[in-house]
Structure 1
């Protein structure tokens, strides 16, 4: 079938209206949903443009999807016409599945039967979480994880063991009805609410999925993923590779390959977190998966 490119919307279970860019194409193929990272948008970063260009050429259906983590503080209008403020400052990871489900519903209504979730940075966490929390996890055929990051190592480097105390403080603030207040700057380098901080850093398996800094960690979440997973990482990604804990990007590549039962990991040794200067390589690797 001929392809077309359109701006589209979908509605989440909690009535948020989300926007996206939809490339309608071969409906016998799985449709790819791109889930952007922290503070950014579905159209930012040159590597996204390169992937879209490749998908256009190969007649691959895709959807560059807005989610409630767009920007830092972003107003989303709900179906009642009321503005709700989210963005990276306010989002909770436990709610990410609502956005992904809404986009999967959109694509199911378009006639697609299988989905590939392609996340970048924080979007890789949301993609993996969806397999465990999402309503339509059964239609997700595979994952593409671009620049997963060791968020907990970042916090350990900044605050050593103090971060555990900060998580307890955040929980106390939430319990006292102050979850929407901003954390103090010593908690993190990025402004978020206590709700968001606790969502990110409370200790559970889903929040520790990329704890590469822990030498004794057995990665229970990654080991439970039973679908193909393509991972692309950069050897100079400051949010992934911390020399205090890991020798190099090759070591992290080996950890991922060991703990993803159907994993395939590409290491770009000189690339950073957003693949600047390596967009062509990322586009080629991703397009070859289809």
Structure 2
């Protein structure tokens, strides 16, 4: 594995980890989820190593939402001057995630890969889907979705969400958009008012409405590439049951004839103790198609 340091189009310096594959081959470009990073992800290293052994490239690219609160070097595109910016999942603006996904896709192309599978875990799926909604599927040959959440829908089911959105809206209207919320995300992590407010129904990331399950499921139904979905049996992002959620997703994947869903039993959102099983299923799916 080699470390990559690259700059996004808006000047952020992000770290990527590259497990090398065959030249002019297939590369899996992975978008991590909320509060995640390469050090604390339990399964991505196993996936990267196993795929690389089989001749596939794998890039785990940090996005601006890595960790809780981070300090990222920023290079001004006009002056070339460097500065620092505090972001992380606590402060990130969801719409800017398009720069991060684009960075690692372009990096894979620069490294010589001819086919790109866009993969994600958790909140990273919403970033990938947002990228697709803006950039299309021209550069994408397939999709891997690990624990894809309907974040807006799930938060809307929280009893305390109304009070939380009211607090966030009040802070923003009073000119304190970066103010940390009184409530913590998942009862653990601090979250800024502007970031939390973007999680509301009808907001920018309300693009995967599995909780409501409307007839018009949006951009997901237009994806015409092979799709692999993995759900953990005891995951907190499950809407009904893993099996029923997969049935719904298969129904909404109207534009592809190649949809595969897998339930990983006996594990939760981070696939602890089931990392090898998850990796094996992903490798098998990739080998059969690319």
TM-score range, shorter chain: 0.7 to 0.9
Contact 1:9–1:17 (CA<8 Å) still a contact in 2? yes
Q: Give the direction of change, closer, same or farther, for the CA distance of 1:92–1:12 in structure 2 (3 Å limit).
A: same
What is aligned with 2:178?
180
The equivalent position to 2:243 in structure 1, one of 250, 265, 290, is: 250
Contact 2:150–2:206 (CA<8 Å) still a contact in 1? no
- Give me the TM-score of the superposition, normalised by structure 2: 0.86
What is aligned with 2:78?
none
What SS does structure 2 have at the residue aligned with 1:46?
coil
What is aligned with 2:267?
271
1:1-290, aligned counterparts within 5 Å?
A: 5-79=1-75, 80-134=81-135, 137-159=137-159, 163=162, 166-167=164-165, 170-171=168-169, 173-185=171-183, 189=187, 190-204=189-203, 206-209=205-208, 211-214=209-212, 216=214, 218-241=216-239, 246=240, 248-261=241-254, 262=256, 263-288=259-284, 289-290=286-287
Q: Give the direction of change, closer, same or farther, for the CA distance of 1:55–1:83 in structure 2 (3 Å limit).
A: same
| CA apart distance, 1:208 | 4.1
| CA apart distance, 1:97 | 0.9
RMSD between aligned residues: 2.3
Contact 2:69–2:91 (CA<8 Å) still a contact in 1? yes
Cα deviation code 1:110-155 (max 9, x no counterpart):
2223321111011111111110124x74201111011112323442
| CA apart distance, 1:30 | 2.3
1:39 and 1:217 map into 2 onto residues whose CA distance is 32
Q: Give the direction of change, closer, same or farther, for the CA distance of 1:174–1:217 in structure 2 (3 Å limit).
A: farther
| CA apart distance, 1:285 | 1.2
- Give me the TM-score of the superposition, normalised by structure 1: 0.86
Contact 2:154–2:211 (CA<8 Å) still a contact in 1? no
2:185 and 2:16 map into 1 onto residues whose CA distance is 33
What SS does structure 2 have at the residue aligned with 1:124?
helix
1:120 and 1:191 map into 2 onto residues whose CA distance is 21
Contact 2:267–2:274 (CA<8 Å) still a contact in 1? yes
| CA apart distance, 1:86 | 0.7
1:159 and 1:13 map into 2 onto residues whose CA distance is 39
Contact 2:20–2:52 (CA<8 Å) still a contact in 1? no
Cα deviation code 1:76-131 (max 9, x no counterpart):
01123211011010112211110111222222222223321111011111111110
